[in-house]
Amino acid sequence: MPLASLFCLVVAISDGDTLTARCGAPGAYQQVKVRIAAIDAPESRQAFGQKSRQHLARLCFRQRATLQPVDEDSYGRTVAHVRCGSADVATAQVRAGLAWVYTPYAESRPQLAALQQQARSSGTGLWSQKRPLAPWDYRHRRSQR
């Protein structure tokens, strides 16, 4: 059963696919750490990691956000579809070439793969690199050191 949508204010941006939002009624706010569903952005130290974070900040920081929670990840973050203002955040990040489509959570978002293909074809954002390294491969390599 899908959880109810949460109406929040974005108070922090961790990276290109994670933000912190304050949700609920005034005086009864709850801070929620949110991992944006269906995308995986470059890590902070990776190429385009900072650009991805800055793009998300321009979209969402100090903006009203609507969260549609879908899951909780292994770090206790709420995995959610996020809209800041009228923008679907996953769509905006993928279209800008600043996030990969994260297939395990993208079944319900088939349009994202087409946007990723467009960004890749036009060499937008991280796709301007000769061989962009997916964040999950980057994390795997780092964990093996």
77 is annotated as an active-site residue: yes
Mean pLDDT (whole number) for 101-125: 93
Please give the pLDDT value at position 144. Answer: 86
Q: Look at residue 112 and tell me if it is in a domain.
A: yes
Please give the pLDDT value at position 3. Answer: 61
Q: Look at residue 59 and tell me if it is in a domain.
A: yes
The better pLDDT of the pair 89, 105 is held by: 89
Q: Look at residue 145 and tell me if it is in a domain.
A: no
**Taking phi first (over 0 means left), then psi (-120 to 50 degrees means alpha), and beta for anything else, what does residue 62 get?**
left
Q: How many residues does the chain have?
A: 145
Supply the range of the domain harboring residue 65: 6-140
Catalytic residue among 53, 77, 83, 109: 77
Q: Look at residue 1 and tell me if it is in a domain.
A: no
Q: Look at residue 29 and tell me if it is in a domain.
A: yes
Q: How many CA atoms lie within 13 A of 60 on its CB side?
A: 36
CATH number of the domain that residue 85 is part of:
2.40.50.90
35 is annotated as an active-site residue: yes
Q: How many domains does the chain have?
A: 1
Q: Look at residue 95 and tell me if it is in a domain.
A: yes
- According to DSSP, residue 60 is labeled H
Cα distances from 53 to residues 19, 34, 127, in angstroms, run 9, 14, 16
Confidence of residue 1 (pLDDT cuts 50, 70, 90): very low
Give the chain's mean pLDDT. 94
Confidence of residue 4 (pLDDT cuts 50, 70, 90): confident
Q: Which tens digit of pLDDT belongs to each residue from 12-65?
A: 999 999 999 999 887 888 999 999 999 999 999 999 999 999 999 999 999 999
Mean pLDDT (whole number) for 9-13: 97
